[in-house]
């Protein structure tokens, strides 16, 4: 399937196994490696009250506790395949992830498929980089100080489930010409305890979007992500605390991603503020199912 798009062969690809009970950890990891998608998810039964299902998320190289497009895509499959029941025009599901139980909204708004909206973990505004760390990031990304916005909006580590670094640059051209040194970028992730680095600008291709994002996570086997829901949520937090957008425009906005990969994606972000600080972050979008089948395990 493709996630964060309404058109096939765009957005971020995902494989979902809706009946994964009985698979071992080793089998799940082997399946994810076999398919080679950015992530592969496995839906598991759950017996606790108020939890509709559990899911596990694997990249080709490791399991991750939380990720945006796998959670949104898995919910789409759970709904469209009848694993869970929903009511129109809106239902709320609860699923068990590696970072706890999180709600998922299923919104029927007249489109062919429902919009799936995930609530992310409590926003955490973490460190600003020191000069040595910043230099390592710039070398890994192939940018310089003059490409960055400036001291008022420094690169910063944010978490809405995963610790990620967000690097603001001045213009669209800088983002589009990025060609990171992935070995150096992986070293930066390991040094700072990150799961990915997002580079963004407020100059966009689409008039619908308010930010243009590219996201790289070589430490988990993702050279570049076409649509990173976790990063879109973290970006919303970054924009709120640095006031790059007027506060009233941060209620709901769109992030465009994947254009450089030929897989344009649109992610809908909502940031709820309390006393000027981000309190709740939601990221949503649409999905397209492409194929279904059966995998036989020897």
Q: 166-219 pLDDT, tens per residue?
A: 999 999 999 999 999 999 999 999 999 999 999 999 999 999 999 999 999 999
pLDDT, residue 292, reads 95
Residue with tokens 């926003």: 123
pLDDT band of residue 248 (cuts 50, 70, 90) is low
Q: Annotated catalytic sites, by residue? A: 39
Asked if residues 114 and 73 have their Cβ atoms less than 8 Å apart, the reply is no
Q: What is the pTM of this model?
A: 0.91
Residue 246 has pLDDT above 70, yes or no: no
Q: 49-81 pLDDT, tens per residue?
A: 889 999 999 999 999 999 999 999 999 999 999
Pick the CATH number of 124-283 from 3.10.310.10, 3.30.230.10, 1.20.1560.10, 3.30.565.10: 3.10.310.10
- Residues of the chain within CATH 3.10.310.10 domain(s) are 2-119, 124-283
Asked if residues 86 and 79 have their Cβ atoms less than 8 Å apart, the reply is yes
The CATH number that domain 2-119 falls under is 3.10.310.10
Residue 35 has pLDDT above 70, yes or no: yes
Return the structure tokens found at 79: 């709904």
Concatenating the DSSP letter of every residue in 188-237 gives: HHHHHT-S-EEEEES--SSTT-SEEEEEEEGGGTEEEES--HHHHHHHHH
In this prediction, what percent of the chain has a pLDDT beyond 90?
85
Residue 130 has pLDDT above 70, yes or no: yes
CA angle in degrees (0–180, nearest 5) for 231-90-102: 40
């Amino acid at each position: 399937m493709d996630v964060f798009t309404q058109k096939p062969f765009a957005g971020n690809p995902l494989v979902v196994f809706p009946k994964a009970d009985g698979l071992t950890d080793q089998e799940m990891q082997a399946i994810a490696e076999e398919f080679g998608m950015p992530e592969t998810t496995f839906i598991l039964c759950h017996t606790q009250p108020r939890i509709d299902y559990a899911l596990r998320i694997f990249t080709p190289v490791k399991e991750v506790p939380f990720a945006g497009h796998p959670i949104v895509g898995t919910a789409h499959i759970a709904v469209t395949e009848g694993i869970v029941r929903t009511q129109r025009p809106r239902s709320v599901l609860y699923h068990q992830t590696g970072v706890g139980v999180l709600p998922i909204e299923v919104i029927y708004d007249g489109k062919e498929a429902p919009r799936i909206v995930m609530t992310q973990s409590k926003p955490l505004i973490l460190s600003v980089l020191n000069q040595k760390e910043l230099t390592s990031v710039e070398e890994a990304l192939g940018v310089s100080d003059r490409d960055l916005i400036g001291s008022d909006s420094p690169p910063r580590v944010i978490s809405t489930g995963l610790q990620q670094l967000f690097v603001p640059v001045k213009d669209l051209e800088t983002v589009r010409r990025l060609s990171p040194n992935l070995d150096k970028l992986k070293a930066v992730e390991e040094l700072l305890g990150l799961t990915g680095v997002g580079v963004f600008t407020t100059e966009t291709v689409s008039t619908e979007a308010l930010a243009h994002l590219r996201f790289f996570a070589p430490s988990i086997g993702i050279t570049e992500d076409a649509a990173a829901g976790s990063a879109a949520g973290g970006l919303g937090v970054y924009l709120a605390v640095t006031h790059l957008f007027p506060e009233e425009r941060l209620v709901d906005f769109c992030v465009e991603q994947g254009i450089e990969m030929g897989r344009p994606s649109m992610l809908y972000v909502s940031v709820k503020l309390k006393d000027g600080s981000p309190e709740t972050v939601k990221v949503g979008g649409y999905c397209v199912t492409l194929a279904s089948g059966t995998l036989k395990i020897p």
